[in-house]
Amino acid sequence: MIRKAKINDIKYLVRIEKKVFTQSLGESFLYDELSLNPFAHYFVYELNKEVIGYIGFRAIDKNAEMMNFCMDPEYQGQGLGYELLKHSMDYLKALNVTSVLLEVRKSNKTAQSMYEKFGFVKSHIRKDYYQTEDAFVYIKEV
């Protein structure tokens, strides 16, 4: 089941981030996003009452930027992340968003492949975006 993220989900989001990325945006960042930021839109994928992934965007006017997207490694490769991305894109479209931007590690070929299958187009490179690694910037017109 895909649903809007809640404050009570933060500990699960941090846990998943650490499993996937070895670091996290942090509890305080996520708390601010979920409780204070009117432009933030976060969704979780819940399976058997367990949060197994999440995606977050900031949507301002007709533009949105993906803040983070991760699925527990145990559930990757099953199409669940694709479902979560599709749900989010449909939601953003309903908000009249026309353009979505995201960054992805240059080394993350799996994510790049999924974004490209979903219609995102590689735009440019952000040098050292991830401290020691460049990021590809992808854009999709909704």
Per-residue burial over 96-124, b if 16 or more Cβ lie within 10 Å, else e, is ebeebebbbeeeeeebbebbeeeebeeee
Q: Which of 71, 58, 77 is nearest to 21 (CA)?
A: 71
Catalytic residue among 33, 45, 103, 138: 103
As a whole number of angstroms, the distance between CA 140 and CA 135 comes to 16
115 in catalytic set = yes
Largest CA distance in the chain: 40
Catalytic residue among 12, 42, 54, 115: 115
As a whole number of angstroms, the distance between CA 88 and CA 71 comes to 14
74 in catalytic set = no
Enumerate the active-site residues. 103, 115
